[in-house]
Amino acid sequence: MATFLFDKIIFGPVKSRRLGISLGINLLPTNIKVCSFDCIYCECGRNPKKYEEKAVLPGRAEVRHKLKEKLEEMKSANQLPDVITFAGNGEPTLHPDFAGIIDDTIELRNQLAPNARIAVLSNATMIHKKEVFQALLKIEDNIQKLDSAFEETIKLIDCPNKTFNLQKTVDQLTSFGGEVIIQTLFVRGNYKGETVDNTTEKEISAWIELLKKIKPSQVMIYTIARDTPIDTLEKVPLGDLNSIAKRLENTGFRVQVSG
């Protein structure tokens, strides 16, 4: 199925299902995806099996310049965003200057769009790095992925690199002390002859137990909304998502559902 890449460093603003009017920042190349996960549902497609040339990331100064330019333009038009969101063509925290770029973004936001939140959509694979962890604590919406409580399910759906360890990731997520939002994408279907379904009772019960340990400030649950690189995947009905949300709310979590 058709997928797409973001072709700019600063993109949008777009209306986000979860965040409102969002101005996006892509810290990855504009021509290829670079990620520590290779999710079978990713709207940007799969990771290249082999890079024909070295991936070139935008420099810190260029990101700052482009963001300042765009925010000044939006301020002049009286159309400032609700949120400035780090997303794009892969995992934003892979950028070697991620922490410095967060500092620049906070400074520019404070100057030009003081009511805007700053969000990072991350797969939690780099939060073991002190500078990344500390940078994420500086922003309003530290959104980290946790698609399952079982490593075998994560390997099937998210296809992480070989260094991924679920227990260590959960421990690191817990270390945020509640200053974290957990996002989980629910999906069904099949892939390489295996059933894909992280909505079973076994999955949901174990996932809720991990959430009790992590104690996030909010849980965002959603399902596929755009084309995916694997055409055997199915959108989870909104009614099923609402049932999962109800269980979370009964456990004491604040939940946002996007169908």
Question: Could you give the domains of the chain?
Answer: 10-258 (3.20.20.70)
In contact, 256 and 242? CB cutoff 8 Å: no
Q: What is the pLDDT of residue 38?
A: 95
Q: What is the pLDDT of residue 55?
A: 79
In contact, 247 and 58? CB cutoff 8 Å: no
Other residues' Cβ atoms within 10 Å of the Cβ of residue 217:
15
Both structure tokens of 129: 């790095």
Q: What is the pLDDT of residue 154?
A: 97
Residue 165 region by backbone torsions, left for phi larger than 0, else alpha for psi between -120 and 50, else beta: beta
User: Which is it for strands 20-26 and 83-87: parallel, antiparallel or unpaired?
Assistant: parallel
Q: Is the peptide bond before 13 cis (omega within 30 degrees of 0)?
A: yes
d(CA 114, CA 128): 30
Q: What is the DSSP letter of 43?
A: T
Q: Please classify residue 104 by burial: count the beta carbons closer than 10 Å to its beta carbon, then call 0-12 exposed, 13-18 middle and 19+ buried.
A: middle
Q: What is the pLDDT of residue 52?
A: 63
Both structure tokens of 46: 């799969």
The total number of residues shown for the chain amounts to 259
Both structure tokens of 201: 């009772």
Q: What is the pLDDT of residue 51?
A: 65
Q: Could you say which residues of the chain have pLDDT below 50?
A: 1
d(CA 235, CA 225): 7
d(CA 87, CA 240): 27
Please tell me whether the overall predicted TM-score, pTM, comes out greater than 0.75 for this model: yes
